[in-house]
Amino acid sequence: MQLRIHNEGWVYFVISCLITIIVIPFYTIIGIFLAILSAYIFYFFRDPIRSVPIDEVVVSPADGVVTYIGSEKNPLEDNKDQNSYTKVSIFLSIFDVHVNRMPIKGSINSIHYIPGKFINATLDKSSKENERNIITFKSDKDNFYIVQIAGLIARRIVCNLKVNQEVEKGNRIGIIKFGSRVDLYLPENYAILVAKGQRVVGGETIISNPKNILNINNAKLI
């Protein structure tokens, strides 16, 4: 298996390793603790290759556990968009992969960063109160929203997208550091294939199959 670390993690990993090398000859126990911390930093920022379905299905934008599924208005509360959406919330613990991925091929319409609180991301109110980054994109004729939400520990949201950018399904779109939540808003006519409490894998787990494709066998490694 190929080991990869997200670019955002290298600075933490290198600094931790350097401190460990300096400390361990003088303070063995502390050095061992720092070595374990360095290993965890590498583990946290891991960026595994995923097998992304080629067929026209919607995949999970993040690793974690589904904590909420329900009907909502768009997260921007934009009066121009009066459509209802199905929101699927995914909570990422400190042990999950924190790299976020594009759930379906689309064009980025807007990106809105909103400062806020850092309450527990398992609580639904974190969608409206916490620091977050709202990504609006269009696939075919349908609008979608992804919301990257900082959690109790998370203190930085990284988004690598640009407005008007065309992004393929499964491509990496950013990372949320140290515990977080991702909300995916789908058109209400998209049937949801996951359940509350289910563990999902970013880029692989199918959230919705709007065209009712029977045999989903083709995939690409990203």
Segment 156-198, tens digit of pLDDT: 899 999 999 999 999 999 998 876 899 999 999 899 999 999 9
Quote the CA–CA distance of 202 and 135 in Å, as a whole number. 17
pLDDT tens digit sequence for 136-159: 999 988 999 999 998 776 568 999
Quote the CA–CA distance of 184 and 100 in Å, as a whole number. 11
pLDDT for 221: 82
**What does the block give as tokens for 45?**
């920022």
Domain limits, CATH 2.70.70, in the chain: 53-210
* Three-state SS annotation for the chain: CCCCECHHHHHHHHHHHHHHHHHCCCCHHHHHHHHHHHHHHHHHCECCCCEEECCCCEECCCCEEEEEEEEECCCCCCCCCCCCEEEEEEEECCCCCCEEECCCCEEEEEEEEECCECCCCCCCCHHHHECEEEEEEEECCEEEEEEEEECCCCCEEEECCCCCCEECCCCEEEEEECCEEEEEEEECCCCECCCCCCEECCCCCEEECCCCCCCCCCEEEC
The residues, ordered by sequence, that sit 6+ positions from 102 with a Cβ below 8 Å of its Cβ are 61, 167, 168, 169, 170, 171, 172, 173
Weakest-pLDDT range from 18-22, 72-76, 115-119, 124-128 = 124-128
Does domain 53-210 fall under CATH 2.70.70? My reply is yes
How, if at all, do strands 132-139 and 142-150 pair? antiparallel
pLDDT for 102: 97
Q: Is residue 180 among the annotated active site residues?
A: yes
pLDDT for 9: 87
Catalytic residue among 16, 126, 180, 208: 180
Q: Is residue 37 pLDDT above 90, yes or no?
A: yes
The chain-wide mean pLDDT, for the chain, equals 89
Q: What percent of the chain has pLDDT over 90?
A: 66
